[in-house]
Copies of this chain bind each other. A is one copy, B any other.
Amino acid sequence: MALQPNAVVLLSGGLDSTTTATIARQQGFLLHALTFRYGQRHEIEVAAARRVAAALGIANHVVLDIDLRQFGGSALTSDVEVPKGRSLDDMSHGIPVTYVPARNTIFLSFALAWAEVLGANDIFLGVNALDYSGYPDCRPEYIAAFQAMANLATKAGVEDRRQLTIHTPLIQLTKAEIIRRGLELGVDYSLTTSCYDPDPATGRPCGSCDSCLLRAKGFRELGLVDPVAIYASRGLK
């Protein structure tokens, strides 16, 4: 039997990263999941990432603490209000306050370090350039530039001539297409969380931040009900 190649997958516990991890596993990679506790307003994302890692049978899951609150600058890490009830048209104009400065660059840098230690040539990231809420570090040109930099950055790249690939299997999919692909692969979306501002006590999504609205639109377009609504109503986290 051929040795399974290692891959690092960035796992936030959201719909996109969970689908991405499932795709990577289906492609035959042995997954090493990396989650960040980066001064989010809540622990709900980390709990979801743990549930998803367990469901996918990922034995190696690292949760790293990085305190981005020391820099401030985002609604997700400081006291700025998360915007609610925006139209899709609003979302398509400009970069929202929920943008976290250089977040994907920081996350990918740690993934790069871990990949080198593991001897992995593959990193999976669930970014999405269509329904993407305007983040600069979710665009294909950004990912290509990161990959080019990464291949100059490491001993693996320079001395061993190993080429690193940043896989972004969702980058050109709509939210509905992502959900359809995930359901084909058996993803249990009730384990995931996407909300920027969930109820801290129950984990219930707010239903009106950009992330909730895009997720709801995805399920609606497929004629489906988001299981998270049902899940949250059970009071589980």
Interfacial residues, chain A to chain B (CB-CB below 8 A): 62, 64-68, 70-73, 94-95, 99-106, 108-110, 112-114, 116-117, 136-137, 139, 141-142, 145-146, 148-150, 152-155, 157-159
Contacts and interface: CB of A to CB of B under 8 A. Distances in A.
Contacts of A137: 152-154
B99 A153 contact: no
Contacts of A100: 113
A208 to B, nearest CB: 23
B136 A73 contact: no
A interface secondary structure, majority: helix
Given A71-B117, A136-B158, A105 B145 contact: no
A134 B66 CA distance: 28
A168 to B, nearest CB: 14
Contact of A64 (B70, B102, B142, B155): B70
A121 to B, nearest CB: 14
A153 B117 CA distance: 25
Contact of A72 (B71, B117, B145, B146): B117
